[in-house]
Amino acid sequence: MLTGKQKRFLRAEAHHLTPIFQVGKGGVSDEMTKQIREALEVRELIKVRILDNCEDEKQEVAEALAKGARAELVQLIGLTVVLYKESRNNKKIVLPKVAK
C-alpha cells in the first residue's frame, strides 16, 4: 500500500501525463487489463480516461482497473484514473521513503 506522501508524489508525477487507455461503453475487459499491466511494466505510472458513454460507476471502473492490473489506484479525479505499479525491469520512479 502507498502512503499519503507517496500518493501525493505520484499525483505530481502524473500531472503532465496524457491518458493512454480509454474505458468506453464495453467497460473493463480482461484484454484491456492485460494491456494496462504491460504498459505499467514499461512506464510504472499511467492515466486512463473513462469515457462519458461508459455505463459503469467511475469508482467501480477505477477499482476494477487497479485490481485487474494488480496496480495501486493513486487517484480518481473526474473521469481520469491514475495507476501505479512498480516495474520489475524498468524501474524509473523512486518513491519517497516511508517514515518508521
pLDDT band at 32, cuts 50/70/90?
Answer: very high
pLDDT band at 44, cuts 50/70/90?
Answer: very high
What's residue 92's pLDDT?
86
C-alpha cell at 52: 462519458
pLDDT tens for 58-94 read: 999 999 999 999 999 999 999 999 999 999 888 888 8
What amino acid is encoded at 50 in this protein?
I
Distances, alpha carbon 24 to alpha carbons 42, 62, 80, in Å: 24, 13, 12
What's residue 88's pLDDT?
86
Please say if the pLDDT value at position 36 is more than 70: yes
Segment 20-24 shows an average pLDDT of 97
User: Strands 45-50, 80-84: parallel, antiparallel or unpaired by DSSP?
Assistant: antiparallel
Asked if 72 and 99 touch (Cβ cutoff 8 Å), the reply is no
pLDDT band at 100, cuts 50/70/90?
Answer: low
What's residue 94's pLDDT?
86
